[in-house]
Chain A
Amino acid sequence: MSILMNDSTRVIVQGITGRIGSAQTHWMLEYGTRVVGGVTPGKGGMSVEGVPVFNSVLEAVKETGANSSVFFVPAAGVLDAFLETIDAGVKLIVIVPEHIPVKDVLKMRSYALEKGVFALGPTTPGLLVPGMGKMGIMPASLFQPGRVGIISRSGTLSYEFAGILSESNVGQSTVVGMGADPVVLRNLADILELFENDPGTDAVIIVGEVGGEQEEKAAGFIARKMTKPVATYIAGRYSPQGKKMGHAGAIVRGSTGTVAGKHEALRTAGATILESPIDVAKWAKKNKLR
C-alpha cells in the first residue's frame, strides 16, 4: 500500500516536450509509472517517449482518463497551467519547478484547497512509491519497497534518507517531497495524516530544515493524532542565519523556526530526534521496521 499514488493513478506530464520534461518522462516510464499523456500547448499530435501529446489538459484528461499531473513547466507559466489543470478535474498535482513567485503560489494554494485538489511543491522532487511508480525526479536506484513513509522538505535529503534505509534493508511505503519553498501547496501535517491512515505504513520519517513553522505545527498533529512512530531530522544546525529583515515575520511566528525550537516541539510531541541522518538506520532497527 501507499499514499497519493495507487494502481489507478494515470499520470500526464505537463511541459513534456521540454528538455527536462522528456528526459524525466523516460525515467518515470522506465520505473513503471503509468504515464498516459503529455501536454504542451501548440504541440498536440506529437509523441514523446511513445506518449501522446495534447494541446490542453482537458483534452488529455478526456482522451486518456488521466487523474494526476506532474509539472515541468517554466516557472512563469506555472500558475496558468495549474489553474487549467484543476479546472480539467485533475486531483493530484506535483509542481517540480523552482523559482515560482510567492504571489503565484498563494493563489495556487488557495484554489487547490478550495477545489479539494492535493498538490505538492513547488520545488519538490515529487513522490515515489517503490516498485509502483513515481511522479517527479526522484532517482529510482535509491528506493526499495517496504513500510516506512518519508516526508521531506528537501529533495536531495529525501534521497539520502531512502538510500540509507535501503542499504539497511528497510524499505519505504511512499516517499513524498513536500517542496522547499517558504509557502508550499500542502502542509506537513496533511501529509502526515495520510501516512497515519495508510495500512501499508508502519512508521514515518520527517526530514525538515531550519526556518518556517511546518515542523512545529506538525508536532501538534503528532501529539493529538499520530499512533505510529515518528522520527525526525532537522537540517541546518550550523547554517548561518540569514540577514534579518523586518520584524513582521518574527512578530507573527515568535521563536519558531530554529533547529532547537523544532527539536523541542517534536520531542515533546513524542517524536524521536535524529541528530545525524545515519542514525535513521539504528532507529529503524530498534523499531523492527522493514
Chain B
Amino acid sequence: MRLHEYEALDIFEQNRIPVPRRELVSDIHEALRVAAEIGYPVILKAQVLVGGRGLAGGIRTVENPDQMEEAVDELLMREVKGMPVRKVLVCEKVDIARELYLGMTIDGYSGKPVIVASTEGGVLIEETAKAMPEKIAAIHIEPSFGYYPYQARGLLRMLGIEQKMITAWSDIIGQLYHIAIRYEALIAEINPLVVLSNGGLMAVDAVLEVDDSALSRIRFPLPDRVDRIENPLERRGREIGVTYVDLDGDIGLISSGAGLGMASMDIIGQKMKPANFLETGGGITADLLYRCMELIMMKPNLRGIFINVYGGINPIHEGAKGVIRYMQEHNLRIPVVAKALGNRQEETWEIFKSGGVHVVTEAATEKAVEVLYKLVGPGDKKAGRKANKK
C-alpha cells in the first residue's frame, strides 16, 4: 500500500528527518489561510498515488493570494495520470542550493534491501541513472545483520561527498532505513533531498510503500487501504479478497492464479478484449465465486465470461456451485466457458454443465478461448486491444 505524500512526510517528521512546513487542504479558503500562516511563496502539491506527478502538472508555485484561487481550482479539477485530485498539500517554498536523491527498496534477486543515493536528484533521476551511472551509488544491507552507519558513510564517499555533509546525510540515511524497517516498507524514497541555502538538508518529498502482507502487524496507525482504491470495481475486489483490475474490453475473466490470469488475458487479447483481470488466489469457496460473478457483471456490456481454474489447493467443485447459483438467480444470458482441471475435476464438470456452462476439459487455455470465440465472435475490433488501467 502506498501512502500519500502528506502521510509519509508526517512519518518522516516524527522520525527526525527535516521536512518543510505544510498543511493539507481541500478548498480555496483553507489554502488561503494556510498560505498566509506559512508565508508566500508556497508550493501546491496534488496528493495522488502516482509517480511522475511533477512532470504531469501536479505541482504549482503560488507567489501571492491573487494566484491562489486559479491554482487551487486548476489542481482540484485536474486528473493527474487519471487519478482525481481530492487534496492539495500547501508547502513552504524553501531555498534550494542543490537536489540530491535517496531511496531504499528491496532487491528481489539478491534478497536484500538496497540503499541508493545520487548527487543528481529531481524529476529526471531515472534518466541520470542511465546516462551517468557514476552519479549513482548503491549498497546492499545484509538482512541478518541490518544497517550500520559506516555503510552510509561508505556510500556517500563513493559519490565524492565532502566530509562535512557526510555526517548530516548519513543521519538521514539511518533514519530512512529505520522508518523502512518499522513500517515494513518496500520503497522509502526522498526525491529530492535538498541542500538548503544555509547548508542544511531537508526532505521536500516523501514516498513510502508499505508491504501489504505486513499491515496486520504494523503497530502504527495507518489509513484504511480499501478507501484509497479509486476504481469502485477494484475496491470491491479488495473487499471480497480477490485481485481485480479494470480493463477496457468486454470478456469477463475469473482465474485461480495470477500467472494463469495473465496468460488468459494474453490469449483472450489475441482475438478479443478482456474486460478485467481477476485472480482468486487459494481461497475459492462457492460464496467467493458467486461474489466474483457479481463483481465482473458490475461491468456493463460483457459479451462472454471465461473461467480458468485449477484444483490444486482450491476446491473447484465448490467454486462451480457458486458460479451456477449466480447464473440461475440472475438468469444470465451471455455464454460462460469454463476450463477447470485438477482435484475433483469430473465432479466440477458435471456441476458446470448442469448450469449451462460450456466446459472444456483440455489443458491448453487457447482451446478453451477458441470455444468462447466461436460463441461470441470478435466484437468491436475498433476499440484498443491493449490493456488500459485506469
Q: Which residues of A line the B interface, CB within 8 A?
A: 20, 24, 27, 75-76, 96, 98-103, 105-107, 109-111, 114, 125, 137-139, 141-142, 152-157, 159-160, 162-164, 166-167, 180, 182-184, 187, 207, 209-210, 212-214, 217, 233, 235-241, 243-252, 254, 276-278, 281
Contact = CB atoms under 8 A, between A and B. Distances in A.
B312 A137 contact: yes
Contact of B365 (A98, A110, A160, A243): A160
Contacts of A137: 282, 312-313
Interface centre among B269, B342, B386 (most CB of A within 10 A): B342
Nearest to A238: B269
A182 B186 CA distance: 10
A101 B213 contact: yes
A155 B50 contact: no
B51 A243 contact: yes
B363 A276 contact: no
B341 A159 contact: yes
B213 A99 contact: yes
Interface in B274-303: 274, 277, 281-282
B125 interface: yes
B11 to A, nearest CB: 15
Nearest to B144: A110
Most chain B beta-carbon neighbours within 10 Å: one of A24, A155, A246, A276: A246
A252 B262 contact: no
A39 to B, nearest CB: 19
Contact of B259 (A24, A103, A138, A157): A157
Given A107-B143, A252-B114, A246 B189 contact: yes
Contact of B313 (A96, A235, A251): A96
Nearest to A251: B129
Contact of A75 (B213, B266, B386): B213
Contact of A166 (B187, B269, B363, B366): B363
B260 A250 contact: no
A168 to B, nearest CB: 10
8 tightest A-B contacts by CB? A154-B259, A163-B363, A156-B257, A139-B342, A248-B103, A240-B389, A156-B260, A101-B214
Contact of B262 (A138, A209, A214, A278): A209
Given A139-B311, A164-B363, A252-B116, A157 B257 contact: yes
- Please tell me the size bucket of the interface on B: 35 or more
A160 B266 contact: no
B269 to A, nearest CB: 4
A210 B262 contact: yes
A110 B144 CA distance: 7
B310 interface: yes
Contacts of B189: 246-248
A159 B255 CA distance: 13
B217 A252 contact: no
A109 B143 CA distance: 9
B247 interface: yes
Given A251-B125, A278-B366, A138 B312 contact: yes
B131 to A, nearest CB: 12
20 contacts: A24-B313, A109-B143, A157-B260, A159-B310, A162-B363, A163-B363, A183-B108, A184-B108, A236-B262, A239-B387, A243-B2, A243-B389, A244-B50, A244-B51, A245-B51, A248-B104, A248-B105, A248-B187, A248-B189, A254-B130
Contacts of B311: 139
B161 interface: no
A139 B348 CA distance: 14
B371 to A, nearest CB: 14
A248 B143 contact: no
Given A251-B136, A254-B130, A139 B312 contact: yes
Contacts of B67: none
Interface of B: 2, 49-52, 101, 103-109, 111-114, 116, 118, 125-126, 129-130, 136, 138, 142-144, 181, 184, 186-187, 189, 191, 207, 209, 211-214, 216-217, 245, 247, 255-260, 262-263, 265-267, 269-270, 274, 277, 281-282, 310-313, 341-343, 345, 362-367, 385-389
Given A139-B310, A248-B103, A248-B187, A100 B213 contact: yes
Contacts of A210: 262
Nearest to A255: B130
B252 to A, nearest CB: 15
Given A110-B144, A277-B365, A243 B49 contact: yes
Contact of A251 (B103, B255, B362, B386): B103
A99 B386 CA distance: 30
A278 B217 contact: no
B261 to A, nearest CB: 8
A214 B385 CA distance: 28
Contact of A156 (B142, B259, B267, B388): B259
A273 to B, nearest CB: 13
B343 A249 contact: no
A244 B103 CA distance: 14
Contacts of B363: 142, 159-160, 162-164, 166-167
B51 A235 contact: no
Contacts of B214: 101-103
A239 B262 contact: yes
Contact of B143 (A75, A106, A152, A184): A106
A182 B52 contact: no
Nearest to B309: A156
